[in-house]
Structure 1
Amino acid sequence: MTIHKEGYKSIAIATLIFVILNLLSFFFISASAPLISWIIFVGLLGLLLFIISFFRLPNRTHTFGEDKVICPADGKVVVIEEVFDEEYFHDKRLQVSIFMSPANVHVNRNPISGEVIYSKYHKGKYLVAWHPKSSTENERHSVVLKTGNTEILVKQIAGALAKRIVNYLKAGMKVKQNEELGFIKFGSRVDLLLPVGTEVNVQLGQAVKGGVDVLATLKK
């Protein structure tokens, strides 16, 4: 397991705060209230370890397949339904949404190989990620990947805690399945908009792993 590059700055800042606060606690509190000083140390250490864990990048054996749509993120499947897409397709699509808690790995990966034909950032609200309107009203970044005649929209959505979406893709790029698409910090959601009739291989409430589990199978 390694640490994702998006975490270097955050971990450095968290470590500095950990050291400064514990030095202050040692010089001003430990002599008169050692128990409180220890509580501060343990609490800050737990927070630091959580931040380090949030940016972890585990080693995995990825799943590949030209007709397979691989899960772009770790988390739990919270939506499988037909929706009308007003952003790009302007018709009905099959939406599959994955909710990522702060405890999940937060790197996002390309579900298919192909060409990036659309990439756009949208400012927005910070509703909780499982809110039905979060897909259209929250801060988000949408990309459309095209393989053959099939187009898939992948939408990174900020949640109540997430305040920064990182996306690495630009229109015109050629990308490969399971390469990094981006990163969302501290709790979020990823939506996929698939062609109606696509065979979905996951179920509501199912825990999935990005780059590993097959989310859907494309029609040939």
Structure 2
Amino acid sequence: MAGDLLDNKGRGDASWSWPAIHPEGRKFGVLAVGISLFFLLLLDWEIIGWPLLLLSAGVFAFFRDPERVVPQDEHAIVSPADGLISLIAEVDPPQELMIDDGTGNAGMPVGKVTRVSIFMSVFDVHINRSPIAGTIQRIVYIPGSFMDAGLDKASEENERQHILIERMDGTQVGFTQIAGLIARRIVPFVKPGDTVGAGQRVGLIRFGSRVDVYLPAGTGSKVLLGQSVIAGETVLAEIGTQKLIEGVAQ
């Protein structure tokens, strides 16, 4: 199905398939299987070997990389991550996304914008995708602590990586990959100057984390607090649209 065009009129051909395992995770899965077989076959310690074998399956599942159907709408900002909308707030963008970085590329303008935070549990897909089509203007990695990614202050204190993307019309969307209690490595797939499409894979965070999205000024969230979202598919916002949307948990 990769690369196929599907629409809301029923055109196209969709079918289910097993998700691929991203190459970044294959080495961890193979290592876990090897350790499991060592305990099972060489030491005959089944009480340890079988749980480790189940853990190996979990490692492969964590690094799964399913295909996604990305909306082709120039106004849409799609979710960069799978997970739960844990925070929505009006904030100033991080300094790293606003200040002059010396490259001549302007950062996000000063002023409050809507920040949408997506919490990724260990059960979610951890491949992150670009929220818009455009050019990677900057990537800024910041070392930090590993507190609970669900806390608001994790945006400023945890290990994190800021990415700023700019469309051809100058519209900018910034987002931040934030490590959590278990996550210990942020892995980028892109670099400044790269051109990306909406929904294109741009990186991953190992083992539980959070992604903050900073919407352009004058743009509000179309998702609700507590809603589950899917990377590359769920529309977080429409550029230039800002209105109150309410929902009921049931």
TM-score for both structures, normalised by structure 2: 0.80
CA deviations over 1:71-118 (Å, ceiling 9, x no partner): 111000011111122332343221001000000000000010011111
Report runs of 4+ in structure 1 exceeding 4 Å deviation.
none
- In 1, distance between residues paired with 2:150 and 2:70? 27
In the alignment, residue 96 of structure 2 is paired with which amino acid?
Answer: E
Check the 8 A contact 2:26/2:60 in 1, yes or no: no
Q: Report deviation, 1:24.
A: 4.2
- Alpha carbons of 1:4 and 1:169: their partners in 2 closer, same or farther (altered >3 Å)? same
**Number of the residue aligned with 1:4:** 22
Find 1:80's aligned residue among 84, 88, 91: 88
In the alignment, residue 12 of structure 1 is paired with which amino acid?
Answer: V
Check the 8 A contact 1:140/1:156 in 2, yes or no: yes
Identity of aligned residues (%): 40
3-state SS in 2 of match to 1:78? strand
Check the 8 A contact 2:36/2:50 in 1, yes or no: no
3-state SS in 1 of match to 2:152? coil
Find 1:19's aligned residue among 37, 41, 45: 37
Q: Report deviation, 1:211.
A: 0.9
**Number of the residue aligned with 2:129:** 109
**Number of the residue aligned with 2:162:** 142
3-state SS in 1 of match to 2:60? helix
- In 1, distance between residues paired with 2:49 and 2:67? 31
Which structure is higher in RCO with an 8 Å CA cutoff and minimum separation 6? 1
CA deviations over 1:14-64 (Å, ceiling 9, x no partner): 1111111222441xx5xxxxxxx3x43431222111111101112332222
3-state SS in 2 of match to 1:162? coil
Indicate the structure with greater strand content: 1
**Number of the residue aligned with 1:34:** none
**Number of the residue aligned with 1:44:** 52
Indicate the structure with greater helix content: 1
Aligned-residue CA RMSD in angstroms?
1.5
Q: Report deviation, 1:205.
A: 0.5
Find 2:198's aligned residue among 177, 196, 201: 177
3-state SS in 1 of match to 2:141? strand
**Number of the residue aligned with 1:124:** 144
Alignment length, in residue pairs? 210
- In 1, distance between residues paired with 2:31 and 2:111? 45
Check the 8 A contact 2:82/2:126 in 1, yes or no: yes
**Number of the residue aligned with 1:198:** 219
TM-score for both structures, normalised by structure 1: 0.90
**Number of the residue aligned with 1:59:** 67
- In 1, distance between residues paired with 2:189 and 2:49? 37
- In 2, distance between residues paired with 1:88 and 1:53? 33
